[in-house]
């Protein structure tokens, strides 16, 4: 079992980090919160979750143990897969998600793309007590500020990230462009977070 990977950040997008350790490049699927935490760094330490299936061996990387714990809790809920859990951790910080679940805020959980009313209720019922017991709600607030790149770069990166998450490029681009027209200085991860709430 891989506990964590520490090494040079060889490549980084809002959905994937390639960490080179001992001459091996490990591709790890990441959330926007992890992307924010390691953006601009030459080296990073990511805690790992290994998803081993018959047809694939996928690594997920997390900037903190708390985020990994939250991910593991989410995928323990019936109907919530790894990609949905990553989407949830991209849409909200660990503390926001914990607060929504612990207060039974179904509407807040439903704002996440792909989460319907039944799934939101199941997540709250299954995880409410576990979250309190584990004490993982004390997490750093979402996304520190990051200097904005040229708008076209931000637009392209945001659209690419959303496309990788499974959204169609054309409607995605419309939403991203509209967000950037209103708030031109937003960094990529904030644009993607806003887009996730608007794309249905």
pLDDT above 50: residue 59 = yes
Mean pLDDT taken over the chain: 86
As a whole number of angstroms, the longest Cα–Cα distance in the chain is 46
pLDDT above 50: residue 141 = no
Q: What are the E-state strand segments in the chain?
A: 4-12, 16-21, 24-29, 43-52, 57-62
Closest-CA residue to 109 (of 130, 138, 89, 79): 89
Q: Is the entire prediction scored with pTM above 0.75? A: no
The rounded distance, in Å, linking the Cα atoms of 21 and 67 is: 22
For tokens 């709430």, the residue is 197
Q: How confident is the model at residue 150 (pLDDT cuts 50, 70, 90)?
A: very low
* SS3 (DSSP) at 175: helix
What are the helix (H) ranges across 76-150? 82-91, 94-102, 106-110, 117-134
Mean pLDDT of 57-71: 94
Q: What are phi and psi of 109, to 5 degrees?
A: -65, -35
The rounded distance, in Å, linking the Cα atoms of 123 and 93 is: 16
Tokens at 39, concatenated = 């953006």
**Per residue in 12-28, pLDDT tens?**
999 999 999 999 999 99
pLDDT of residue 142: 35
């Amino acid at each position: 079992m891989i506990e964590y990977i520490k090494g040079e950040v060889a490549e980084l997008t809002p959905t994937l980090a390639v960490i080179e350790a001992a001459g091996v490049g490990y591709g790890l699927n990441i959330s926007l919160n992890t992307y924010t935490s390691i953006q601009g760094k030459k080296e990073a330490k990511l805690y790992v979750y290994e998803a081993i299936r018959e047809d694939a061996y996928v690594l997920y990387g997390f900037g903190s143990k708390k985020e990994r714990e939250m991910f593991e809790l989410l995928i323990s809920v019936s109907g919530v897969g790894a990609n949905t859990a990553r989407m949830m951790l991209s849409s909200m910080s660990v503390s926001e998600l914990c607060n929504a679940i612990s207060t039974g805020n179904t509407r807040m959980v439903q704002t996440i793309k792909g989460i319907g009313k039944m799934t939101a209720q199941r997540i709250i019922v299954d995880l409410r007590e576990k979250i309190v017991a584990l004490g993982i709600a004390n997490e750093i607030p979402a996304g520190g500020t990051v200097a904005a790149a040229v708008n076209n770069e931000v637009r392209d990166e945001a659209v690419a990230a959303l496309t990788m998450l499974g959204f169609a490029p054309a409607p995605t681009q419309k939403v991203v462009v509209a967000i950037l027209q209103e708030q031109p200085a937003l960094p990529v991860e904030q644009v993607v977070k806003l887009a996730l709430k608007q794309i249905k």
